[in-house]
Amino acid sequence: MIKLSKSEEQLMEYIWKAEKAFMKDLIEAFPDPKPASTTVATLLKRMTDKGVIGYTQYGNSREYYPLIKKADYFSKHVTSMIKNYFDDSVLQFASFFTKEAKLSREQLEALKKIVDGQIQSLSDSKKKK
């Protein structure tokens, strides 16, 4: 599983959002104070080495783009977290999450609709078989 540092994850967020970006665009995406271009260049190099981003060369400039989808990256991390911290039990994770996240009634109702929708989707797919 690919592990990005906090700084790399922050930069990756900007790359996912932009879909394609030059280093100057990425630096501009950071809040003030902006990081040094050498810092961003180092992060981009490490992320390229890890295989999470690629680039197209245009003369002296490189346009960076993601090689992994945001959903795939976070899905692997959530799965790993459930395995490592919740004895591989999604139910333990869900119980912890719903209690500790201090969700409002409206948020819990919305979460219930998502779960009900998934249950319905599974029921529908079984009927088709």
Which is nearest to 21 in space by CA: 62, 50, 59?
Answer: 62
Q: Give yes or no: residues 21 and 60 share one domain.
A: yes
Q: Are 108 and 114 in contact (CB under 8 A)?
A: no
Indicate if 59 and 107 belong to the same structural domain. Answer: no
**pLDDT tens-digit map of 75-95:** 888 888 888 888 888 888 888
Provide the domain count of the chain.
2
On whether both 94 and 55 belong to a single domain, the answer is no
Q: 36: helix, coil or strand?
A: coil
Residue 12 lies in a domain: yes
Question: In this predicted model, what pLDDT tens digit does every residue of 36-77 receive, in sequence order?
Answer: 999 999 999 999 999 999 999 999 999 999 999 999 888 888
What is the domain range of residue 110? 89-128
Q: Which of 80, 86, 114 minimizes the C-alpha distance to 100?
A: 86
Beta-bridged to residue 66, according to DSSP, are 53
d(C-alpha 68, C-alpha 71), whole Å: 9
The yes-or-no verdict on residue 100 having pLDDT over 90 is no
